Amino acid sequence: MIKIDHLSTSYTTIDGPVHVINDVDFEIYDNEIFGIAGESGCGKTTLLKALYDILDFPLVVDSGKLILSGEKNGQAFSFETGQIRNTWWNHISYVPQAAQSVLNPIVPVKKQFLDSIPKANITKEPKAITMKRISNYLEELSLSPDLLNAYPFQLSGGMRQRVIIALATFMSPNVVLADEPTTALDVVVQRGILMMLMSLQKQLKNTMVIVSHDMGVHYQITDRMGIMYSGSMVELGKTEDIFEKPIHPYTRMLVGALPRVGDKSQKTGIPGRPPALTNPPPGCRFAPRCPKTAEECKKSVPKFREVEKGRFAACHLLNRGECRCQKNYSK
Ligand SMILES: Nc1ncnc2c1ncn2[C@@H]1O[C@H](COP(=O)(O)OP(=O)(O)OP(=O)(O)O)[C@@H](O)[C@H]1O
Ligand SMILES: [Mg+2]
Q: What pLDDT, on a 0 to 100 scale, did the predictor assign at position 327?
A: 45
* Inter-axis angle of helices 187-204 and 157-169, nearest 10: 10
**pLDDT tens digits for 231-255?**
999 999 999 999 999 999 999 999 9
pLDDT-derived band at 120 (thresholds 50, 70, 90) equals: low
Element (H, E) at 187: helix 187-204
Span between the terminal Cα atoms of the chain, in Å: 37
Residue 7 near ligand 1, beta carbon < 6 Å: no
Q: Residues 6 or more apart from 179 whose CB is under 8 A from it?
A: 44, 45, 48, 94, 95, 96, 97, 99, 211
Tell me the mean pLDDT in the region 29-55.
Answer: 95
Could you tell me which residue, 119 or 65, shows the higher pLDDT?
65
Q: What pLDDT, on a 0 to 100 scale, did the predictor assign at position 65?
A: 94
Tell me the mean pLDDT in the region 312-321.
Answer: 87
How many other β-carbons are positioned within 10 Å of the β-carbon of residue 129? 11
What is the distance in A from the centroid of ligand 2 to the CA of 46? Answer: 7
**pLDDT tens digits for 176-204?**
999 999 987 888 888 999 999 999 999 99
Residue 107: is its pLDDT beyond 80? yes
pLDDT-derived band at 35 (thresholds 50, 70, 90) equals: very high
Domain 2-228 has CATH 3.40.50.300: yes
What is the distance in A from the centroid of ligand 1 to the CA of 317? Answer: 28
**pLDDT tens digits for 256-286?**
877 776 777 776 777 788 888 888 999 999 9
What is the distance in A from the centroid of ligand 2 to the CA of 98? Answer: 9
pLDDT, averaged across the chain:
90
Tell me the mean pLDDT in the region 161-175.
Answer: 93
| Residue 153: strand, helix, or coil | helix
The ligand minimizing its distance to the Cα of 40 is 1
What is the distance in A from the centroid of ligand 2 to the CA of 177? Answer: 12
What is the distance in A from the centroid of ligand 2 to the CA of 15? Answer: 22
For a ligand 1 pocket test, name from 7, 8, 10, 11 the mutation site with the most ligand atoms within 8 angstroms of its C-beta: 11
Among 302, 305, 326, smallest CA distance to 315 is for 302
Q: Which atom of ligand 1 is nearest to the CA of 58?
A: 1
Percent of the chain with pLDDT over 70: 94
The domain spans of the chain are: 2-228, 230-260+275-318
For a ligand 1 pocket test, name from 57, 273, 277, 279 the mutation site with the most ligand atoms within 8 angstroms of its C-beta: 277
Q: What pLDDT, on a 0 to 100 scale, did the predictor assign at position 126?
A: 81
